[in-house]
Structure 1
Amino acid sequence: MAASVFYIPSVNIIGSESLGSAMDTMRDYGWRRALIVTDTMLSKLGMATDIQNALKERNIASVVYDGTHPNPTTGNVAAGLTVLKDNNCDCVISLGGGSPHDCAKGIALVAANGGDIRDYEGVDRSAKPQLPMVAINTTAGTASEMTRFCIITDEARHIKMAIVDKHVTPVLSVNDSSLMAGMPTSLTAATGMDALTHAIEAYVSVAATPITDACALKAITMIAENLVHAVEDGSNMAAREAMAYAQFLAGMAFNNASLGYVHAMAHQLGGFYDLPHGVCNAVLLPHVQVFNAKVAAARLRDCASAMGADVSKMSDEQGAQACIVEIRALARKVNIPAGLRELNVKEEDIPVLATNALKDACGFTNPVQATHEEIMAIYRAAM
């Protein structure tokens, strides 16, 4: 067996009202000028200003770039980089969900390595670590605050570039669940299903290890037990905190075991139609696992058990079916669209979507490699 490598930020602060102690940690790093990367929504809510004030109290100057799109683009990275250079920033702080985190990673990577973010598409293409980055998370799903994955939409090609690079791992991740209390219902559902996808894809991945397995199974259980509560009552802080831990565990799993065709295919939908990533994952997840069940049935049976199904008297094949039933039931409970047609995905685009999906780095660790025909069939089944 080849050596396995386990990547994770060196410091990770999790728990309600933990932002203050995270700010103290930032002060101790000795940085002087921060670029805060966020989106207009969090900027309008005053969250960026709150961070700026907290930094000021600790003698750290800051400037805000709040132009991040829901699917961050090459243009967003370039614009943020200009703000960073104009203000001589020595660190980057991302505030929000996966979109600001990924945008910030892109900015910090190019700031340290030069060139254009497109130069770093693929695996470990950079020469040196990005500018120090702190990721303050406000959603419970993408785990981008603690991974070496950075997904940026290339506006010219209408595709999502997967940048998988040890150098984009933040130095500090912050999951203060009190910052997640105001998350809208639909975002809570989509990001929660994104986390479930991370855990299941990592568990059936060909690069899974005993460490990633433990993280993935615990994440699956916690999501199955808490997501519906977090969606139904956003102020349920116990469910919010459990989801913060669960999505972090799922991140630990996929950051090291990587992912599969759900993500490879979802990235194309996001890049092509600018759709929400978590929703695309949620719709595709059961269909891809139907395809994977022919080789990964025993693993999917474990996932069904983690989701609360009694698989004690089931064969691996029956257990895999039970897993797919559980995924669909959870998606229904949190009001995920039934199919891609509801998201206005067009039948005639499927051949090109499938072609691009097969080039996505996330698909390389899927438990079984698919043909172009098979990927098209999965897209069609998900319509």
Structure 2
Amino acid sequence: MTIATILTPRMIVIGGGAVAQVADVLKQVGGTRALVVTDKFMVSSGKLTAVTDPLAKAGVAFDVFSDTIEDPTTDVVEAGVARLQAGGYDSLVAFGGGSPIDTAKAMSVLAANGGRMRQYKVPNPIPRQGLPLVAIPTTAGTGSEVTRFTIITDTETDEKMLIAGVPCMAAAAIVDYELTLTKPYRLTADTAIDSLTHAIEAYVSKRASPHADALARTAMATIYRNIRAVCAEPQNRAAREAMMLAATQAGMAFSNSSVALVHGMSRPIGAFFHVPHGLSNAMLLPAITAFSAGAALGRYADCARVMGIAGDDVSDQTAVAMLLDALRSLNADLKVPTPKAYGIDEARYMSLMPTMAEQALASGSPNNNPRVPTRDEIVELYRQVWA
């Protein structure tokens, strides 16, 4: 039997309005003076008050670092660490999408361990645990609130680095679907496909385990059943709640098994061309599923059946063919562009394919794929998805 190591936050609070409990959750993980990590939109829109008002009411000392950006960089992390060290904080609260949460994780790691962020990219270990973090996602997608990963772009090299380990795990997560009710169509769609990719890749990963399988199966079924509704009906509270829970389950699944080739190839597209992470996953998912399916036919067929795409009465081969058709149709329905249609410069894309392939392999994620690709096969996959 394969030995699985299961990592989760110490505490997860789930439900509509749960963000109001932030002060109590922070205290339970030992925080008395917190740096709240978020982005400028959360401040300017007034949404940050969902966190700051309960903290202030409870008499918890805090300050706000709002300089995070989409696709967080080492420059932003280093600025955050300087702020963290200057203020004498004993904890962090991250509020926003995956970027503020990933930034806060990296700040905790770098403040505790020193040096440069690239020293801790996979497969390098992270020696020391950092300050406790309470992660509060405002999108249903990344799962970062419950994972042992953070993704940071090296400003000097444009490499989107995967950093992994126990010190990247939040001490607590607050999962409140009401925070997603105002999210726009494109963000809702992209984060939803991101979470679907998490669930599928966790299930077909070479590091899959029974624990992660159960979470992945539940997540992919829920996501596929609700993904179109949550995009078409942004105020559909039942769909929003289902997607938020499923995104967290998918995050727990891939944190305890691993993502694979889609994510390995997605990160360089995001780093070089600033494509949102969920969108670059969506661009790649159908082609990479087709590339990989023959090496794990039963697993991919299970995905099709769990998602309600195929019945038990069809062969695995037919179920996988139906899965591929469904993924292509989903991209079409959710208006997922190709890299070409997104507006990426063709000459730069083609010239960078070998570098992107090397970075994808260096991340380690492709080694978890049912079919482990060569560098040339990854280049060809990038070529296939271009248009």
With the length of structure 2 as denominator, give the TM-score of the two structures. Answer: 0.96
Q: Is the 8 A contact 1:36 1:48 kept in 2?
A: no
Determine which of 349, 370, 373 is the counterpart of 2:373. 370
Report matched runs for 1:30-45 at 5 Å: 30-45=30-45
Q: Does 1:102 align with 2:105?
A: no
TM-fit CA distance, 1:125 = 1.3
Q: Does 1:347 align with 2:350?
A: yes
Alignment counterpart, residue 363 of structure 2, candidates 355, 360, 366: 360
Return the alpha-carbon distance in structure 1 between the equivalents of residues 241 and 227 of structure 2: 11
Letter paired with 1:313: D
Q: Map residues 219-230 of structure 1 onto 2, 5 A cutoff.
A: 219-230=219-230
Within-5 A mapping of 1:129-208? 129-208=129-208
Q: Is the 2:2–2:209 contact (alpha carbons within 8 Å) kept by the matching residues of 1?
A: no
- 1:122-133 residue pairs with structure 2 within 5 A? 122-123=122-123, 125-133=125-133
Distance 2:182 2:148 in 1: 27
Distance in 2, matches of 1:297 and 1:253, equals 20
**Partner amino acid for 2:340?**
R
**Aligned 8 A contact 1:159 1:271 in 2:** yes
Tell me how far apart the structure 1 counterparts of residues 266 and 286 of structure 2 sit (CA, whole Å): 13
Q: Could you report, residue by residue, the CA deviation over 1:291-322 in whole angstroms, capped at 9, with x for unpaired residues? A: 11111111111111122123323222221111
SS in 2 for 1:77: helix
- C-alpha spacing 1:244/1:124, structure 2 compared with 1 (3 Å): farther
2:72, 2:152 within 8 Å by CA — same for their partners in 1?
yes
- Aligned residue in 2 for 1:53: 53
Cα contact 1:34–1:92 (8 A) shared by 2 = yes
CA distance in 2 between partners of 1:235 and 1:73 (Å): 33
Tell me how large the CA RMSD over aligned residues is. 1.3
Q: Secondary structure at the match of 1:93?
A: strand
What is the number of equivalent residue pairs in this alignment? 382
Question: Any idea what the Cα deviations from partners look like across 1:233-286, whole Å, max 9, x if unmatched?
Answer: 111111111001110111111001101110000001011111100000001011
How far is 1:330 from its partner? 1.8
1:98-120: CA deviations, max 9, x gaps?
A: 00000000001112222222211
- Letter in structure 2 aligned against 1:58: A
Is the Cα–Cα contact under 8 Å of residues 293 and 317 in structure 1 kept in the other structure? no
Secondary structure of 2:248's aligned partner: helix
- Counterpart of 1:180, as a letter, is T
Q: Residues 54-93 of structure 1: matches in 2 within 5 Å?
A: 54-93=54-93
Once the two structures are superposed, residues 19-62 of structure 1 have per-residue CA deviations (whole angstroms, 9 ceiling, x without a partner) of: 12343222344422111111111111122244223212222111
Partner residue in 1 for 2:117:
117
Aligned residue type for 2:354: P
Distance in structure 1 (CA, Å) of the matches to 2:61 and 2:257:
38
Separation (CA, whole Å) in 1 of partners of 2:326 and 2:169:
33
- CA distance in 1 between counterparts of 2:55 and 2:74 reads 28
Structure 1 position 362, deviation (Å): 1.8
Partner letter of residue 101 of structure 1? I
Pick closer, same or farther for the CA change 1:172–1:231 going to 2, 3 Å: same
Within a 5 Å distance, the mapping from 1:208-227 to structure 2 comes to: 208-227=208-227
CA deviation after TM superposition for structure 1 residue 357, in Å: 1.1
Greater Cα shift, 72-81 or 59-68: 59-68
Contact 1:259 1:362 in 2 (8 A): yes
CA distance in structure 1 between the partners assigned to 2:225 and 2:97 by the alignment: 22
Distance 2:218 2:53 in 1: 37
**Alignment correspondent of 1:382:** 385
Mapped contact 2:32–2:90 kept (Cα < 8 A):
yes
Q: Which amino acid aligns with 1:158?
A: D
Q: Distance in 2 between matches of 1:269 and 1:328?
A: 20
Aligned partner letter, 2:334: V
Change (3 A) 1:28 1:315: closer
Shift of 1:342: 1.7
Instruction: State the distance in 2 between where 1:86 and 1:53 align.
Output: 24
List structure 1 segments (4+ residues) > 4 angstroms apart after TM superposition: none
- 1:297–1:316 contact (8 Å) kept in structure 2: yes
CA–CA distance in 2 between the matches of 1:2 and 1:226?
Answer: 33
Distance 2:84 2:377 in 1: 44
| CA–CA separation in structure 2 for the residues paired with 1:187 and 1:28 | 32
Q: Which runs of 5+ in 1 are unaligned?
A: none
- Residue 270 of structure 2 aligns with which residue? 270
C-alpha contact 1:132 1:171 (8 A) present in aligned 2: yes
- Tell whether the 8 Å contact from 2:284 to 2:385 is kept in structure 1 after alignment: yes
Q: Are the aligned partners of 1:123 and 1:165 in contact in 2 as well (CA < 8 Å)?
A: no
Task: Please report the TM-score for the alignment, with normalisation by the length of structure 1.
Answer: 0.97
Instruction: Identify unmatched segments of 5+ residues in structure 2.
Output: none
Measure the CA separation in 2 of the matches of 1:362 and 1:257.
11
